[in-house]
Amino acid sequence: MSRKMKWQSGGVAKWRNGPVPHRRILPFPPVAALVATLLVTTGLPLAGCRGDRSDNPPRQFFPDMDDQPRWKAQDRSEFFADGRTMRQPPQGAVAFGRSPVVADEPWAATYTLQRAQLLKDDARVYRGVDDSGNPLTTIPVEVTTALLDRGQNRFDIYCAACHGIKGDGKGLVGQTWSYPLPSFHDERFLPGGASGAEGHIFDVALHGFVGPTGRQLMPGYAHALTEHDAWAIVAYIRALQRANRAAIQDVPDSERTQLQGAPRPAPAAEGGS
Ligand code: HEC
């Protein structure tokens, strides 16, 4: 008797439309029974080995994986003359990082960046200098809104305490400094200024600033910032400088009303002021 017929003979004639009737067939379908039998006959003898004590050598299914020639960290080596198993990488060895991702798609960006950060083989991006070793006068990464947002976030955390939220040198810590801190809006920090090269600001952010007498006047923040963060800060300082010199005409119409204080009275009522 087929399974379907048996179900029908159980007295629920219209089970296809109504609730599924209580199953009154074998406890397992035949396939499950077969699998169970196989497990018992083949699996049990193996499982029986577990926990048994024996003086015989253990069974090895992949002996070449169990018994590999290898050294443990800090072990003594008979092979190397200096007796050390832990070797210095040969000169010029390149860090082994993520393999290059050959995809110019958004999902690959993280991997590409991780690899670049590991290798740090682009002097412009990672040291802020050009081929002759001079500080760059451009920002070598793409300046996007996301980069500026990141720059604002890092600047406010790591720089503003001394240099001020607007970069004018009047941060809470800056005000208590033994001498007035310079403002980033001084001519010398603007593009083309004596201390205004992008590569210089990048370098100061990461490694601090050493004055002419050789004294470290500002600590570096390389422990807290990646190179990309440092470029983000440089871009944000440029934005602060630009904003500081902006006229109301630079503000798009849509934003101007808000800046000048909303709601704005109708021009006629204001009497032209
Ligand atoms: C603890 C206070 C402090 C913090 C925080 C700080 N600075 Fe400075 N910064 C200084 C001092 C002090 C000087 C030196 C001023 C001087 O004597 O010319 C300086 C100088 C500079 C200069 C000018 C270097 C030059 O060529 O004259 C730059 C650019 C600069 N800081 C960038 C940054 C950036 C970017 C950050 C955040 C990552 C930062 N600073 C965080 C204290 C600080």
The rounded percent of the chain whose pLDDT value lies above 70 is 78
Collect all residues with Cβ–Cβ distance below 8 Å to 53 and sequence separation of at least 6. none
Asked if pLDDT for residue 234 goes beyond 70, the answer is yes
Tell how strand 209-210 and strand 216-218 pair up. Answer: antiparallel
Instruction: Work out the angle between the directed axes of helices 109-119 and 227-244 (0-180°, nearest 10).
Output: 100
Q: How far apart are CA 91 and CA 93, in angstroms?
A: 6
Q: Are 141 and 147 in contact (CB under 8 A)?
A: yes
Q: Which amino acid is at 200?
A: H
pLDDT higher at 238 or 34: 238
Residues facing 210 on adjacent strands: 216
Give the distance (Å) from ligand 1 centre to CA of residue 68. Answer: 55
Residue ranges of the domains in the chain? 96-127, 145-249
Asked if pLDDT for residue 13 goes beyond 50, the answer is no
Give the distance (Å) from ligand 1 centre to CA of residue 210. Answer: 10
Asked if pLDDT for residue 249 goes beyond 80, the answer is yes
Q: Which amino acid is at 95?
A: A
Encode pLDDT of 196-222 as tens digits. 999 999 999 999 999 999 999 999 999
Nearest alpha carbon, ligand 1 atom 40 = 159
Residue 221 Cβ inside 6 Å of ligand 1? The answer reads yes
Give the distance (Å) from ligand 1 centre to CA of residue 208. Answer: 7
The best mutation among 154, 158, 162 to test binding of ligand 1, ranked by most ligand atoms within 8 Å of the C-beta, falls on: 162
Encode pLDDT of 106-121 as tens digits. 888 888 878 888 888 8
Q: How far apart are CA 39 and CA 214, in angstroms?
A: 78
- Grouping H, G, I as helix, E, B as strand and the rest as coil, residue 9 is helix
The candidate with the shortest Cα–Cα distance to 134, out of 149, 123, 142, is 123
Encode pLDDT of 159-177 as tens digits. 999 999 999 999 999 999 9
- pLDDT value at position 62? 86
Residue 195 Cβ inside 6 Å of ligand 1? The answer reads yes
Nearest alpha carbon, ligand 1 atom 32 = 205
Average confidence (pLDDT) over 151-160: 98
Q: Which of the following CATH numbers is that of domain 145-249: 1.10.760.10, 3.40.50.620, 3.40.50.920, 3.30.70.260? A: 1.10.760.10
- Half-sphere exposure in the Cβ direction for 215 (13 Å, CA): 2
Q: Averaging pLDDT over each range in 21-25, 76-80, 140-144, which range is the top one?
A: 140-144
Q: How far apart are CA 259 and CA 251, in angstroms?
A: 9
Collect all residues with Cβ–Cβ distance below 8 Å to 2 and sequence separation of at least 6. none
Residue 163 Cβ inside 6 Å of ligand 1? The answer reads yes
Residue 208 Cβ inside 6 Å of ligand 1? The answer reads no
Average confidence (pLDDT) over 139-143: 97
How is residue 133 annotated by DSSP?
S
Q: What angle do CA 216, 218, 224 make, to 5 degrees?
A: 120
Mean per-residue pLDDT over the chain, rounded = 83
pLDDT higher at 238 or 41: 238
